[in-house]
Amino acid sequence: MAKPWLAHYDPGVPEQISYPEVPLWRLLEHSAQKYPGNIALEFMGYHLKYEGLWSAARRFAQALRSLGVKEGERVAIMLPNCPQFVIAFYGTLAAGGVCVNVNPLYTPRELKHQLNDSGAETLVILDLLWPRYAEIAGEVGVKRVITTGIQDYLPFPKNLLFPVKARREKRWVNLPPDPKRHSFKALLKEHPPLERPHLAKPDDVALLQYTGGTTGLSKGAMLSHRNLVANTYQAISWYPAKEFEGKGVMLGAIPFFHVYGMTVAMNYGIAEAYKIVLLPRPEVKPCVEAIEKHGVTHFPGVPTLYVGFNNFPGIEKRKVGTVKVCISGSAALPVEVARRFEELTGGKLVEGYGLTEAAPCTHCNPVVGKRKVGSIGLPMSGVEAKVVGPDLQELPPGEIGELAIRGPNVMLGYWNRPEETAKSIVIDWLLTGDIARMDEEGYFYIVDRKKDMIIAGGYNVYPREVEEVLYAHPAVQEAAVIGVADAYRGETVAAYVVLKPGQVVTQEELDRHCRANLAAYKVPRIYEFRESLPKSMVGKILKRELREQLDREKVSS
């Protein structure tokens, strides 16, 4: 197949990706051997060096073995970004287990589904989240629970003050006696490092990463050691300059339990022996403070995080010029947001694209070379991509169809769902479910999600295009566009808007702005101003929740 994108790669970016055929834990072992004294993790003043991190991961692996965890067993990890997450993740792999990333915001119902679906018999959980597990403990097959607290990896006196603060805020949980429960801290203290970590094969499952479940119950994407190692090196190869190896500082703000944060912040940072500054929550103020204090060079994030950064009070006076490379993912990056961020930091902010089923990165705009407005960029090294029609035949440049990809990062399939796998992977091509087009130079554009497309009066309306126009208005901070049922048009376009602090704009003014930039059938018929938009813990705007709110409002009226 033709690959016009290759002509637009930055110098040094390879056509094919070169990566070692090794278990994922080898990335940590290699950095620990090459840079043992480098700080690996920084957590609210606590430091853990690479040699110490690798030792802790192997102690955790030995503890799992001693508790009876066998090769291929699933270990669920329900933690925010903290040293324990990294230790448990790499330790599980070293023990021969399969990681199951669990969102700490999950309700008991969601936790029950994921534990039962994955068959996890071991759960690593934050002590403050214990009540959620306790509510469904009798309905899942968990045999052992390992609990840990934020205070376990805080320096003195923060380790003593944190419980006091949690009690004052009525968040503290007194853990009840339970024969299934084990202390994370005690297990590491009691067990020596595992001498011979498990030598997994490249195609062995390393991770069950559950999709968001926007179209029903979430499914577990089976990501192999090859998938995760390859995608880490694909991300690294996109900016091939080696001046940051062993010297870079990665801001670990986006959650590691999400596949994007896991790859572009945690695994990338570990493979390159960066100092990873861990933030339990992706909030703007701690991000700004961490950049200033630690000289952050790499700041992967999501558009809402960059929007908040751009609008942070006094940001023009903060010392954020150390930022060099930022990749935005999980949602479309408005052009104005990227421009303003680069103006403030002097660094590069490029839009990328990926999905859980591809571990996740597949496309990115060049860091140095040509970037195109609204484009997700070029297929990354080793990735093939095409736009296909309903018959799965490749469409020529400019035509709109479904994006299909293949490469070493594409999942093995969905856990225990062969029918779903067969629908998504056809002759080794992953059908993404995203509507896209490719231009003559090989740059790809996501027009929208299949499920998000609005059909208004017989016309296809792609919310992303309308959102780009709304973001271009100087008063708009955030915008989300969805389709609303309409008796006459089938669906009509509704825009939910958050204004920048101190800004005032009327619906009529927004409407004039949209009519000046959009065909009449694309212009929102409904404008609603909000103080905030519902977001996931990753910072992704949840359009599903907006739709559910609308449905509830209809019922109540």
pLDDT digits (tens, 9 = 90+) for 260-288: 999 999 999 999 999 999 999 889 999 99
User: Model pTM?
Assistant: 0.85
Q: For residues 226-230, give the mean pLDDT.
A: 98
* Average pLDDT score, the chain: 93
Higher pLDDT among residues 487 and 491, named by residue:
491
Helix (H) / strand (E) containing 461:
strand 459-461
Q: Which two tokens stand for residue 407?
A: 């490469």
What domains are there in the chain, each with its CATH number?
Answer: 4-10+24-414 (3.40.50.12780), 453-556 (3.30.300.30)
Residue 130's pLDDT is what? 96
Q: For residues 175-181, give the mean pLDDT.
A: 92
Q: Give yes or no for a contact between 436 and 402, defined as CB atoms under 8 angstroms apart.
A: yes
Distance CA 104, CA 80 (A): 7
With both helix axes pointing from N to C terminus, report the angle between 50-67 and 83-94 in degrees, rounded to the nearest 10.
Answer: 60
Distance CA 112, CA 373 (A): 42
Residue 214's pLDDT is what? 36
How many residues in the chain?
557
Helix, strand or coil for residue 57? Answer: helix
Instruction: Rank 83-87, 208-212, 444-448 by mean pLDDT and report only the highest.
Output: 83-87
Residue 243's pLDDT is what? 87
Residue 490's pLDDT is what? 73
Q: For residues 506-520, give the mean pLDDT.
A: 91
Confidence of residue 213 (pLDDT cuts 50, 70, 90): very low
Helix (H) / strand (E) containing 87:
helix 83-94
Does 440 have pLDDT greater than 90?
yes
Q: Name residues whose C-beta falls within 8 Å of residue 540's C-beta, 6 or more positions apart in sequence.
A: 302, 304, 330, 331
Does 215 have pLDDT greater than 60?
no
List the alpha helices (DSSP H) in 198-238: 225-237
Q: Which residue in this structure is represented by tokens 């016309």?
A: 459
Q: Name residues whose C-beta falls within 8 Å of residue 529's C-beta, 6 or more positions apart in sequence.
A: 497, 498, 499
Distance CA 326, CA 6 (A): 22
Q: Which two tokens stand for residue 117?
A: 């679906």
What DSSP character marks residue 104? Answer: T
Does 168 have pLDDT greater than 60?
yes
Q: For residues 225-244, give the mean pLDDT.
A: 94
Q: Is the peptide bond before 179 cis (omega within 30 degrees of 0)?
A: no
Does 360 have pLDDT greater than 50?
yes
Q: 492-501 burial, b for 16+ CB within 10 Å, e for fewer?
A: bbbbbbbbee
Lowest-confidence segment of 205-214, 304-313, 325-334, 356-365 by average pLDDT: 205-214
